[in-house]
Chains A and B, each alone.
Chain A
Amino acid sequence: MTESNGHSQTNGEHYVGTRTIRPDGHDKVTGRARFGADFNLPGQLIGRVLRSPHPHAHIVSIDTSKAEALPGVKAVVTRDDFADQPSEFVPAGEMMMNYKDVVRNVMAREKALYEGHAVAAVAATSAAVARKALKLIDVTYEVLPHVIDVVEAMRPGAPLLHDDLFTAGVEPKPEKPSNIAKRVEIKQGDVEAGFEKADIVIEREFKTAAVHQGYIEPHAALATVSEDGSTELWCTTQGHYIVRAHCARLLGLDIGKVRVTATEIGGGFGGKTVVYLEPLAIALSRKAKRPVKMVMSREEVFKSSGPTSGATVRVKLGATKDGKFVAAFAELKYQAGAFQGSPVQPGTMCAFAPYDIENVHVVGYDVVSNRPKVAAYRAPGAPISEYAVESVVDEIAKKLDIDPIDLRLQNAAHEGTKAAYGPKFGPIGLEETLNAIKKTEHWNAPLRKWQGRGVASGFWFNIGGETSVSLTVNEDGTISLMAGTPDIGGLRASLAAVAADELGVPYDKVRPIIGDTGSLGFNFLTGGSRSAFSGSMAIVEAAKQIRAELCARACKLWEAKPDQVEFSDGAVRPLGALAEKVKAMTVADFAKVAGKTGGPIGGVGRINAQGAGPSFGTHLVDLEVDPETGRVSILRYTVAQDAGRALHPAYVEGQYQGGAVQGIGWALNEEYIYGADGKLQNAGFLDYRMPVASDVPMIDAILVEVANPKHPYGVRGVGETPIVPPLGAIANAMENATGIRFTELPMSPPKVLKALKEKGLARA
Chain B
Amino acid sequence: MAKHHIEATVNGDAVEFLCETEETLLDVLRDTLHLTGSKEGCASGDCGACSVTLDGRLVCACLVLGCEVDGQKIETIEGMAKGEALHPLQQRFLESAALQCGICTPGFLVASRALLEKSPNPTEHEVRYWLAGNLCRCTGYDKIITAVMDTAAALRKG
Same assembly: yes
Using CB atoms, name the residue of chain B closest to A268.
B101
Q: Is the CB of A694 within 8 A of B41?
A: no
**B138 contacts the other chain (Cβ, under 8 Å)?**
yes
Chain B residues in 8 Å Cβ range of A690: 135, 137
Chain B residues in 8 Å Cβ range of A268: 101
A-contacting residues, B143-158, CB 8 Å: 143-146
Binary A-proximity of B35-59 (CB < 8 A = 1, otherwise 0): 1111111111011010000000000
**B136 contacts the other chain (Cβ, under 8 Å)?**
yes
Q: Is the CB of A217 within 8 A of B42?
A: no
Binary A-proximity of B2-44 (CB < 8 A = 1, otherwise 0): 0000000000000000001000000000100001111111111
Q: Is the CB of A34 within 8 A of B36?
A: yes
Chain A residues in 8 Å Cβ range of B43: 297-298
Q: Is the CB of B135 within 8 A of A30?
A: no
**B73 contacts the other chain (Cβ, under 8 Å)?**
no
How many cross-chain pairs have Cβ atoms below 8 Å apart between A and B?
Answer: 182
Q: Is the CB of A26 within 8 A of B86?
A: yes
Q: Tell me which of B39, B80, B104, B128 contacts A30 (CB under 8 A).
A: B80
Q: Is the CB of B101 within 8 A of A265?
A: yes
Given contacts A31-B35, A266-B103, A694-B128, contact A25 B94 (CB under 8 A): yes
B-contacting 9-mer, from A60-68, A360-368, A656-664 = A656-664
Given contacts A216-B47, A489-B138, contact A31 B76 (CB under 8 A): yes
Chain B residues in 8 Å Cβ range of A265: 101
Binary B-proximity of A119-132 (CB < 8 A = 1, otherwise 0): 00000000010000
**A426 contacts the other chain (Cβ, under 8 Å)?**
no
Chain A residues in 8 Å Cβ range of B30: 37-38
Chain B residues in 8 Å Cβ range of A439: none
**A452 contacts the other chain (Cβ, under 8 Å)?**
no
Q: Is the CB of A694 within 8 A of B90?
A: no
Give the Cβ gap from B43 to chain A, nearest Cβ, in Å.
6
State A35–B49 Cα separation when bound (angstroms): 13
Q: Tell me which of B40, B44, B81 contacts A685 (CB under 8 A).
A: B44
Give the Cβ gap from B109 to chain A, nearest Cβ, in Å.
6
B-contacting residues, A631-673, CB 8 Å: 648, 650-651, 653-654, 657-662
Q: Is the CB of A32 within 8 A of B37?
A: yes
Chain B residues in 8 Å Cβ range of A25: 93-94, 99
- Which interface class (under 10, 10 to 19, 20 to 34, 35 or more) fits B? 35 or more
**B71 contacts the other chain (Cβ, under 8 Å)?**
no
Chain B residues in 8 Å Cβ range of A37: 30, 36, 39-40
Q: Is the CB of B96 within 8 A of A266?
A: no
Q: Is the CB of A658 within 8 A of B99?
A: no
Using CB atoms, name the residue of chain B closest to A264.
B102
State A128–B86 Cα separation when bound (angstroms): 38
Give the Cβ gap from A214 to chain B, nearest Cβ, in Å.
5
**A155 contacts the other chain (Cβ, under 8 Å)?**
no
Chain A residues in 8 Å Cβ range of B76: 31
Chain A residues in 8 Å Cβ range of B136: 216, 693
Q: Is the CB of B141 within 8 A of A216?
A: no
Chain A residues in 8 Å Cβ range of B39: 35, 37, 216-217, 266
- Interface centre among B97, B109, B136, by most chain A C-beta atoms within 10 angstroms, is B97
A-contacting residues, B87-143, CB 8 Å: 90, 93-97, 99-106, 109, 124-125, 127-129, 131-143
Q: Tell me which of A38, A128, A657, A684 contacts B139 (CB under 8 A).
A: A657
**B77 contacts the other chain (Cβ, under 8 Å)?**
yes
Q: Which 3 A-B pairs have the closest CB atoms?
A: A31-B37, A266-B103, A661-B140
What are 19 A-B residue pairs whose CB atoms fall within 8 Å in the complex? A19-B97, A26-B94, A29-B90, A34-B36, A217-B39, A217-B101, A266-B39, A295-B40, A298-B41, A298-B47, A488-B100, A489-B101, A654-B140, A662-B140, A684-B42, A686-B46, A693-B128, A696-B140, A698-B146
Q: Which residues of A contact B (CB under 8 A)?
A: 19, 21-22, 24-26, 28-35, 37-38, 128, 213-218, 264-269, 295, 297-298, 488-490, 648, 650-651, 653-654, 657-662, 684-686, 690-696, 698-699, 701
Known: A216-B49, A266-B101. 13 other contacts (CB 8 A): A19-B95, A29-B80, A29-B109, A30-B77, A31-B76, A216-B47, A267-B137, A298-B42, A648-B97, A659-B140, A691-B141, A692-B133, A693-B127
